[in-house]
Homo-oligomer: A and B are copies of this chain.
Amino acid sequence: MQLTSKIYINLLIFTISQARVLKYDYTDGCQLSEQIKNEIASYKDVKDQILDYVIDGEFKGKTYEELAKFVDKFGARPSGSKVLERSIDYMIELTKSEGLDDITTEELTVPHWVRGKEKVTMLEPLYKNLAVLGLGRSVSTPPEGITAEVIVVKDFDELEKVDESYIRGKIVLYDPIFTTYGDTVLYRTNGASRAASKGAVASLVRSITPFSINSPHTGSQTYDEGVPKIPTAAITLEDADLVRRMYDRGEKIVLNVKLSSKYNEKTSRNTLIDLKGSEQPKKLVIVSGHIDSWDVGQGAMDDGGGMFVSWAAPVILKRLNLTPKRTIRTIFWTAEELGLIGAKAYEEKHRNESSNINFIMESDEGTFAPLGLAVGGSQEARCIVGEILKLFESINATELIEEDNPGSDISVITETGVPGASLYNANERYFWFHHTEGDMMNVESPEELDLGAAFWTAVAYIVADLSVDIPRQVQN
Which A positions have Cβ atoms within 8 angstroms of B? 68-69, 72-73, 75, 125-126, 128, 131, 212-215, 237-239, 241-242, 245-246, 249, 297-298, 432-433, 436-438, 440-442
Contact = CB atoms under 8 A, between A and B. Distances in A.
8 contacts: A72-B126, A73-B125, A73-B126, A212-B438, A213-B433, A238-B297, A238-B440, A242-B440
A128 B68 CA distance: 16
B436 A214 contact: yes
A64 to B, nearest CB: 11
Nearest to A73: B126
Given A238-B441, A238-B442, A440-B242, A297 B215 contact: no
A347 to B, nearest CB: 34
A214 B212 contact: no
Contacts of A239: 440
Given A73-B126, A75-B126, A126-B73, A436 B213 contact: yes
B442 A212 contact: yes
A242 B441 contact: yes
Nearest to A74: B126
A214 to B, nearest CB: 4
Contacts of A131: 437
B238 A128 contact: no
Q: 3 closest Cβ contacts across the A-B interface?
A: A213-B438, A214-B437, A238-B440
Nearest to A241: B442
Interface centre among A238, A242, A441 (most CB of B within 10 A): A238
Contacts of A72: 126, 242, 245-246
A204 to B, nearest CB: 17
Interface centre among A75, A128, A242 (most CB of B within 10 A): A242
A211 to B, nearest CB: 8
Contact of A75 (B73, B128, B214, B437): B128
A69 B440 CA distance: 36
Contacts of A436: 213-214
A246 B440 CA distance: 14
Contact of A214 (B73, B125, B215): B215
A390 B408 CA distance: 55
Contacts of A242: 72, 298, 440-441
Contacts of A68: 245
Contacts of A73: 125-126
